[in-house]
Amino acid sequence: MPATAIILAAGLGTRMKSGLPKTLHKIAGRTMLRHLLASCESVFDRIVVVLGPDMDAVRAEAAPHACVVQHDRLGTAHAALQAVAHFGDGEVAILYADNPLIRAETLRAMLDRRMGGDAGLGLLAFRPADAARYGRVVTADGYVERIVEWADASTEERAIGLCNAGVLCAAAPDMARWLRDVRNDNAKGEYYLTDTVALARAEGARVTAIEAPADEVAGVNSRTELAAAEAVVQRWLRVAAMDAGVTMIDPASVFLQADTAFEQDIIIEPNVIFGPGVSVARDVVIRAHSHLEGCTIGRGCLIGPFARLRPGTVLERDVHIGNFVEVKASHLAEGVKASHLTYLGDATVGAATNVGAGTITCNYDGTFKHRTTIGANAFIGSDTALVAPVTVGDGAITAAGSVITEDVPAGALALARGRQENKFGRATAMRQALRAAKQKDGH
C-alpha cells in the first residue's frame, strides 16, 4: 500500500531567536529538514512539506519534494489539512520538521504496526528521563484512550511516563476526515493535530501507541535543544564510525558531519573536527587538533597534529601533512611530504616531492587566484615563497629562503635571495655604540 509523509515545516524559529526558519538550523552539518527527509525517503512513496509564506529557502531545501503553503498559521491540524490533496488512497503519516532525528526503522515500525493491526490511528510515543511538560498518553488494555496535556492533567496522569511525540499515521480517508472535523474551541483558537485522537476514539476506532527511543523524538525549539540534538547525532555518528573500523582515542572530542565517510583501520586522535564533505581512505592517521573540510584523503596518509585541510584538497596515498600546515584547493600526489608550518593553496604537487618548513604558495594577488605547479621528486627548501602563477619542474630544487617568481626548469636549482655579506667586527662595534648611547641618556 502506498504511504505518504506530510512534514510540517512552517515554524518561524521564534524561540531560536533567529531570522533563519527553524527547520534550516543544522545538526552535524545537515539541516533539520534534510535529516527528516533522509529518513522519510527510504520509507514513504511520497513526501509533501508544508511551509509558511515567503519560505523560499525551505522550499529549496525540500526539493525535489512537493510543497504546500499554510498562509495562516492556525495550528498543526490546519497545517496538515493544507496537504490533503496529496494524501492519495494509502497510508498518511504526519510529522514535524522540528523532530528531525526519527530514524527510518522507527517510521517503518510505526507504519507496519498501524497497518498490520486493528487500530485506525497510530501515534509515536516515548518515555523521556524527565517527562516534564509533555502531553501524557493514557492507555487501557493496550490501546490509547486519550492524550492529556500537562496543564490539564491530574496528579495521577502527570505520573504517567509515556508521552506523546506528536507523529500520527492512519489511512488517508480517515486522516482527512478527522482533520476536517478538528475544532478550534480552545484558548488559542487553533486547530490541534492531537485532537484527531479524540475524534478517532469517538468513532470507535482503536488508537495504538508505538514507542520510539526518546533520543529520536525530542523536539528542537531552542538553541539549547539544538545543542542537545547535536550531541545525540554526534554520539550516533561516532558509534557508527567505530563499528565500521575507525579507532577514536577520545570519541567525545571528535566532531563529525552527517556525510563524513570513513573506510576501516583509521586512527583519529583527540580534538579533531570534520566539516562537510570529507572522505577518508583506510590506514590513515589523523593526529590531534586537526580540522578537515571538503577534502579527500587517500590511503595511508598521515595528517597533523594541528593541520588544516580546506575544501578542494585531494591527497593521494601516503601523503604526510604535518603540524601547522594548511592545504586548500590543492592536489598532492603519492608520497608528498609537507611536515611543518606551510601553506599550499591552489597548488598541484607531484609524487614524492618534499615541501620544506615555512613554504607558502602566494596564490592571491588581491583580485585573482593563481595556481602553483610543482613536479615530482622536487625539493622545496624551507621558507620558500612561490609567487603564482609559477611552475617548478620535476626534480628541481629551490634554495631555502628563496622568492620564486619565474618557472624553474626540471632538474634545476633555483636561488632567489640577496647575497650574504659578513662585516667583521661590526656587531661588537654596534653593541658598544648602543650601550654608550644608553648611558648618555641616563637609562
Q: Which residues are catalytic?
A: 340
Closest CA to 23 of 73, 94, 98, 80: 98
Alpha carbons 116 and 75: distance in angstroms, whole number: 30
Three-class secondary structure of residue 297 per DSSP: strand
User: What secondary structure does DSSP assign to 21-90, as a single string?
Assistant: -GGGSEETTEEHHHHHHHHHHTT-SEEEEEE-TT-HHHHHHHTTSEEEE-SS---HHHHHHTTGGG--SS
CB 254 within 8 A of CB 292: no
Half-sphere exposure of 340 (CA within 13 A, CB side): 7
CB 300 within 8 A of CB 318: yes
Pairing of the two strands 261-262 and 163-171: unpaired
Q: For residue 268, list its beta bridge partners.
A: 248, 286
Closest CA to 163 of 193, 190, 124, 202: 124
φ, ψ (nearest 5 deg) of residue 233: -65, -40
Pairing of the two strands 379-380 and 354-355: parallel
Alpha carbons 344 and 102: distance in angstroms, whole number: 42
**Which distant-in-sequence residues (6+ apart) come within 8 Å of 117 by Cβ?**
208
